[in-house]
Amino acid sequence: MSAACGTPLGLSLLVDYWLAELAPADEERVEAHLLGCASCGYELRSLVNLAGGIRRVTRKGAVRAVVTRAFLERVAADGLRVREYRVAPGGSVQCTVAPEDDLVVARLSAGLEGIGRVDLAICDDSGRERERVRDIPVSGAHGEVVFLPRTASLRAAPAGVDRLKLLAVEQGAERLLAEYIFVHTPSPAGPARG
Ligand SMILES: [Zn+2]
């Protein structure tokens, strides 16, 4: 048991920190707190463990992380607002992000049994690859990949189409497992302007 924290950072802030979405000054403040607070450090570690072992993700680009179902259940239970889109292989979905959403997730169903390495490629409507998450964790994936796009990028995104491709990578060759089409509409309130 850790000593209780008098000024806990809170799950929402920890999620933003882990996802590298904080402004540098806020990030420094969180890091300074974590250095001296075992309780909040424990909270962050349990969150990261639930997320499937990806500690930090890249600050650049639209891709943030592939997480587990347990992570989703935890953050929803703690009161974060999660907008979910479930898509079947070959399926398409209309998507957006609302001002009150904390996280947006895409739940991509797929047959993943027996596949050693799976990559997730984010492509534009013409199929050109923009970004890739390599070697995503699929053990215990329950036949789905839960993909977490960067909320800030989504809020700023114009209307457009993204194609997400799950690829099996075997002996240096790639095989398309499934493709999912996301037809994005900007937030009803319009892109946030800072
Ligand atoms: Zn604390």
Cα–ligand 1 centroid distance for 50 (angstroms): 19
Asked if residue 112 has pLDDT above 80, the reply is yes
Tell which wins on pLDDT, 96 or 49. Answer: 96
CA of 11 to the centre of ligand 1 (A): 11
With 80 as the cut, is the pLDDT of residue 93 above it? yes
Annotate 55-117 with DSSP letters as a single string: ----SSSSEEEEE-HHHHHHHHHTT--EEEEEE-TT-EEEE---TT-SEEEEEEE---TT-S-
Report CA(35)–ligand 1 centroid distance (Å): 9
Whole-model pTM: value is 0.78
**CA 71 to ligand 1 centroid distance, Å:** 21
Q: Note the pLDDT tens digit of each residue in 17-68.
A: 887 778 899 999 999 999 999 999 999 988 888 776 554 455 555 666 778 8
Q: How far is the CA of 28 from the centre of ligand 1 (A)?
A: 14
| Neighbour-count burial of 80, counting CB atoms closer than 10 A to its CB (0-12 exposed, 13-18 middle, 19+ buried) | middle
We find that the CATH architecture of domain 63-184 is: Sandwich (2.60)
Q: What residues have a C-beta under 5 A from ligand 1, the ion?
A: 5, 37, 40
Residue with the bigger pLDDT between 69 and 190: it is 69
Q: How confident is the model at residue 193 (pLDDT cuts 50, 70, 90)?
A: very low
The full set of domain ranges for the chain reads 11-51, 63-184
Write the pLDDT tens digit of every residue in 117-171: 888 999 999 999 988 888 887 765 578 888 888 787 888 888 999 999 999 998 8
